[in-house]
Amino acid sequence: MLSFFKKRPYLLFIAPGFILYTILVIYPIAAAAVISLYRWNGIGPKTFVGFNNYIELFNNKDMVSQLWNALSHSLMIFILTVIFVIPVQIIMAYMIYSKVRGKSFFQVAIFSPQFISTPVIIFIFTLLLDANIGVVNKFLESIGQGHLTKPWLGIPEFGMYIVWIMISWAGMGVGMMFFVGAMKMVPVDCLESAYLDGAGFWKRLITIFLPQIKVTILNMVLISYIFGMTIFDFSYLLGGTSGGIERNVDVMSLFFYRMAFGDTNPLGGNISQNSMGMGTTIACVLFLMIFIIALIQLLIVYRKEE
Amino acid sequence: MNKHQGFMALVIKGLMWIYSLITFSILIYMIYNSFRTRQDILSNTFGMPEKLNLNNFKKLFVNDHFYRYFLNSTVILVISLILITLLSSMTAYGIGRYKFKFRKFTRIYFLIGLMFPVQLGIVPIFLLMKSLNLIDSHASVILILSAGISMPVFMLTDFFANLPNEIYEAAIIDGAGEWKTFYKIMFPMAKPIVFSICIIMSVQVWNQFFMPLIFLQSEAYKTIPLIIVKYTKNLLSTMDLAMAASVLSTVPILIIFVIFSERILEGVATGGVKG
């Protein structure tokens, strides 16, 4: 026995992490897939129903509309992030990489919202956007644009945009620092020759840096996608379990949470007869959507590297 | 080389200033209001405050035992970080250092966790924790957060795999066992990467909302993010406390961040390249 491990010392190194990771990360996903084939509320009897939960999810009119609503909001976060946030992060990273004056100050100021927890962010933005005591309306009034004042949080159409603004404000710095790190890896002689060829400041960003940090950009796109699909805190805190007024801030994870744990409170309230079955079904659909995109991404990146 | 950036750069610089100023204004707004009474915030929002005082903080600590939640969050953070560091560096060392049959498979196996956050499997995890009687205990949250080692393992495996073989061989020849070689020689060399892992993970753990929400139900075990939600839920009656609690949960961390900002940002930047 002892000599078995002596010959394979890696087993002892890997084992503790492997066991915990398998039990709490891999097993739950497999188990969720199994539960999704049953009709079950978590306590009562379990009936095997095959793929009926999936069929119900995609055919029941109410479920489809909730699914589509949540999915479109999740995708919206992802698309807005890719179109607006990632380019801004790259440009800011480029300025910091180029040692813009006040570099340390900018880094600290732009990164620091990362350390503010979500409930605090929601709380502060709720106050800022409040119709009566909000700073935003007050500001609009003071610059003579009083007609633009609105009860921002009371308008359903604005809900997801406000969520997106909060996420972007808090998350801007991390992506920016990732890009700074990637830019630092770009070989200097590459840059110097481009400089000698007369490529300007911005042209160097496009012709040298963007191709060199392509993998980081692709990774950030994937991270944004996973993030959009799994974002929970913001919608839950802003709109509660039901996802706000007319489910205006509902997202995929919240939809899943509502189905699995009921509409009112964590682990209580009106749980349906099939809460666990339907909840895990949504989780599995969500998992597949993430998995397929992640796989495509991996294939693209690995192809490039080979 | 970085001169002649042109008009465009000026615009960007302007935007960066605005961005930073907004962040600072939000922080100052929060701190300023935490010293005001509730009536003052609500009815005299934009006027000069009647008086600034520390009553909100006093109420938090004396009546609501705020330090308890601070302690809860700290316990979860410290134990999770120790576990994550230990488990991920050992695992990564095992995969990176040694050649064995299922090495590639093991690497990919640990990568899977990057693709889906734990909350997707929350139903089975919940049932598991329930059967282990760990609901409403810090242990459940700590174990779940410590199991998410995909990113650290990924970052460290490359590091250990790229260490020159001679170091390992020299240590073994000197009579150090496998374990001693790891913690006396190899692990200390990985310190910069371990540091950036700790930074990235500690932000995640400290601000974690979902897991504590599900597993910590009684008041005494709750963490700071959960307690802030308790105050913000009834905004009109506890707005002053919500302000003070927000300040207490944000400002100390920001001060630590500013002091160590150079190292932390460096760590995040290098971590991002690998992750």
Q: Does A179 sit within 8 Å of B6, measured CB to CB?
A: no
Closest-CA residue of B relative to A191 is: B1
| Measured distance between the N- and C-terminal CA atoms of chain A, rounded to whole angstroms | 41
Q: Does the residue B138 lie in any domain?
A: yes
Q: Does B214 sit within 8 Å of A266, measured CB to CB?
A: yes
- Mutation choice for B interface testing from A98, A111, A117, A205 by most B CBs within 10 A: A117
Tokens 């807005």 belong to which residue? Answer: A80
Q: Does the residue B29 lie in any domain?
A: no
Is A59 within 8 Å of chain B by CB? no
Q: Does B115 sit within 8 Å of A20, measured CB to CB?
A: no
B139: domain CATH number?
Answer: 1.10.3720.10
Is B45 within 8 Å of chain A by CB? yes
- Count Cα atoms within 13 angstroms, Cβ side, for B68: 13
**How many residue contacts between A and B have a Cβ separation below 8 Å?**
274
The alpha carbon of B183 is separated from its chain's Cα centroid by a whole number of angstroms, namely 25
Task: Spell out the domains of chain A, with CATH numbers in brackets.
Answer: 20-305 (1.10.3720.10)
Pairwise CA distance, residues A118 & A236, whole Å: 11
A255 contacts on B by Cβ (under 8 Å)? none
Q: Over chain B (275 residues), what is each successive 10-residue block's mean pLDDT? A: 70 90 91 84 71 81 85 93 94 89 86 74 87 90 91 87 84 84 87 85 86 87 89 81 88 88 84 56
Q: Does the residue B179 lie in any domain?
A: yes
Q: Does the residue B132 lie in any domain?
A: yes
Is B11 within 8 Å of chain A by CB? no
Q: Does the residue B9 lie in any domain?
A: no
The total domain count for chain B is 1
B5 contacts on A by Cβ (under 8 Å)? 98, 201-202
Q: Does the residue B4 lie in any domain?
A: no
Is A290 within 8 Å of chain B by CB? yes
Q: Does the residue B28 lie in any domain?
A: no
Is B128 within 8 Å of chain A by CB? yes
DSSP string for residues in B36-89: S-HHHHHHSTTS--S---SHHHHHHHHTT-HHHHHHHHHHHHHHHHHHHHHHHH
The domain of B193 spans 57-274
Q: Over chain A (306 residues), what is each successive 10-residue block's mean pLDDT? A: 76 91 90 88 81 88 89 94 94 89 89 90 89 82 81 84 93 90 86 81 84 86 89 88 84 87 55 79 89 85 65
Is residue B125 within a helix (H) or strand (E), and if so which, with residue range? helix B122-131
Q: Does the residue B19 lie in any domain?
A: no
From B125's Cα to the closest Cα of chain A, the distance in A is: 6
Tens of pLDDT along A147-160? Answer: 788 888 888 888 89
DSSP string for residues in chain A: -HHHHHH-HHHHHHHHHHHHHIIIIIHHHHHHHHHTTEE--SSS--EE-TTHHHHHHHHSHHHHHHHHHHHHHHHHHHHHIIIIIHHHHHHHHHHHHTT-TTHHHHHHHHHGGGGS-HHHHHHHHHHHT-TTT-HHHHHHHHTT-GGG---GGG-GGGHHHHHHHHHHHHHHHHHHHHHHHHHHTS-HHHHHHHHHTT--HHHHIIIIIHHHTHHHHHHHHHHHHHHHHH--HHHHHHHTTTTSGGGTT--HHHHHHHHHH-SSSTT-S---TTHHHHHHHHHHHHHHHHHHHHHHHHHHHHHHH-
Pairwise CA distance, residues A138 & A144, whole Å: 10
